């Protein structure tokens, strides 16, 4: 149950917030989205919660506040936060070589030229450090996003964490990953990648426990996140939303059902830290409010204040933004003025970003068009839930920013 307050009590305009409903209607009525939900909180109170469309079109079930969504890459900040909990426990240092904990990376090779058996490489030694995994500057890639020789090698070897939920283990897939050539020398380029999946295996190694157990004990139970899982229990499958994929002609096709037949309800053996969780708006709000509270939520401290501050600052070398580090546009969003923390994006130059935001704003999203941001300067937490792949389909996140910030009255 999500309790809401009068928008005026937290300095927001109720009339202006209603524009968000019309905006959601536009996407649903034009059949671009099956359904969607927007939650806006300020100073720890929910000022706006509304939804449009269907959670399950076949069953005629509208989206409800407690519905469960595949959050994909919104799993990444949770996994990174868990890593920082272990860091606070003294189990590793951020500049430790990854190979110290995952020996399979001890012979990491940098791709120079060529393809297949004719690849030219050179060893990188201990160049890949833990912070490189957390900032996506490790030299790893997503094989399905890279058209070159390294991407082809990933695909040929079946290096796919999110597509292997029910076969193999995280340890086995990470060992397969470690045989791949690095596309870039660690620390020299930001490239969205399976780095957080490798970080998940790193967490298992340093904690001596499976990733799902670490997340449960370090994050979910302390925060009361009771609906966030790698494997959704069958008794909660009735709250799952249908997943759709946009086609080339603009239409959408259901690719995973809202039922016990979903692959997200079946047993999971490989815990993908990069994109394997399902969650609710309520649960994710608790996580975001912990970040806004610099590690604490409703009297429970998950991270130390200094740790949370440090985690959410820009960690790209030279305070660079993502554009200058090699990837000017990702998903539907331009990244001028946007850096990367140890867990997600961070605004370092609001004017350069050319979107309403605050410097220091922390954010990320998922491939099914979900997204969130935490703006400590304005006290704002925004969460958007839907289920349409890919996230580049429509400029949802930038549009929502304008709609949220125009509603701030004081």
pLDDT tens for each residue of 15-66: 999 999 999 999 999 999 999 999 999 999 999 999 999 999 999 999 999 9
List Cβ neighbours of 161 (8 Å cut-off, separation of 6 or more): 170, 173, 194, 197, 270, 272, 273, 274, 275, 276
- Indicate whether this model's pTM tops 0.85: yes
Q: Give residue 166's pLDDT.
A: 80
Is the pLDDT score of 334 beyond 80?
no
Residue 310 has pLDDT above 60, yes or no: yes
For residue 147, the model assigns a pLDDT of 79
332 pLDDT above the threshold of 60: no
Q: What average pLDDT does the segment 84-103 reach?
A: 98
DSSP E strands: which ranges in 87-141?
109-113, 120-123
pLDDT class for 333, splitting at 50, 70, 90? low
Whether residue 373 has pLDDT greater than 70: yes
Which has the closest alpha carbon to 402: 341, 349, 353?
353
Looking at every residue in the chain, the average pLDDT score rounds to: 95
Fold of 7-75+212-405: Beta-lactamase (3.40.710)
Contact 52, 343 (CB under 8 A): no
Given a contact cutoff of 8 angstroms between Cβ atoms, the answer to whether 5 and 379 are in contact is no
Span 63-80, pLDDT tens digits: 999 999 999 999 999 999
**Structural tokens at position 365:** 């999203």
> Within the chain, which residue ranges are assigned CATH 3.40.710.10?
7-75+212-405
151 near 144, Cβ under 8 Å? yes
Mean per-residue pLDDT, 332-337: 73
Mean pLDDT of all residues in 314-328: 87
pLDDT at 328: 52
pLDDT number for residue 116: 87
The mean pLDDT of 177-190, rounded to a whole number, is 96
């Amino acid at each position: 149950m999500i309790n809401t307050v009068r928008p005026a009590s937290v300095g927001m305009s109720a009339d202006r917030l209603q524009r968000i409903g019309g905006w959601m209607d536009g996407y649903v009525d034009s059949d671009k989205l099956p359904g969607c939900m927007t939650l806006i909180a300020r100073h720890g109170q929910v000022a706006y919660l509304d939804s449009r469309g269907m959670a399950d079109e076949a069953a005629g079930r509208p989206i409800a506040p407690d519905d469960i969504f595949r959050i994909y890459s919104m799993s990444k900040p949770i996994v990174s936060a868990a890593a920082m909990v272990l860091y606070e426990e003294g189990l590793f240092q951020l500049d430790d070589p990854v190979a110290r904990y995952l020996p399979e990376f001890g012979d990491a090779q940098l791709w120079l030229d060529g393809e297949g058996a004719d690849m030219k490489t050179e060893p990188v030694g201990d160049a890949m450090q833990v912070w490189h995994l957390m900032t996506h500057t490790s030299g790893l890639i997503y094989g399905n996003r890279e058209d070159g020789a390294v991407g082809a090698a990933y695909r040929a070897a079946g290096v796919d964490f999110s597509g292997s939920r029910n076969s193999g283990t995280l340890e086995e897939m990470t060992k397969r990953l470690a045989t791949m050539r690095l596309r870039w020398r660690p620390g020299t380029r930001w490239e969205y990648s399976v780095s957080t999946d490798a970080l998940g295996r790193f967490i298992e190694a340093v904690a001596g426990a499976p990733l799902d157990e670490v997340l449960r004990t370090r994050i979910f139970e302390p925060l009361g996140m009771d609906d966030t899982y790698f494997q959704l229990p069958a008794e909660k499958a009735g709250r799952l939303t249908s997943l759709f994929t946009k086609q080339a002609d603009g239409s959408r096709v259901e690719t995973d059902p809202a039922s016990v037949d979903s692959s997200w309800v079946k047993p999971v053996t490989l815990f993908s830290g990069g994109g394997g969780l399902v969650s609710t708006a309520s649960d994710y709000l608790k996580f975001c409010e912990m970040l806004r509270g610099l590690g604490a939520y409703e009297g429970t401290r998950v991270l130390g204040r200094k740790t949370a501050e440090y985690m959410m600052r820009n960690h790209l070398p030279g305070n660079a933004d993502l554009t200058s580090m090699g990837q000017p546009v990702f998903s539907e969003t331009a990244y001028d003025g946007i850096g990367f923390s140890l867990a997600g994006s961070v605004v370092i130059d609001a004017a350069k970003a050319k979107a309403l935001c605050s410097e220091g704003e922390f954010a990320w999203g998922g491939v099914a068009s979900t997204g969130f941001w935490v703006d400590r300067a304005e006290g704002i937490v925004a969460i958007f839930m839907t289920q349409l792949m890919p996230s580049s389909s429509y400029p949802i996140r930038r549009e929502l920013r304008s709609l949220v910030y125009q509603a701030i009255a004081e």
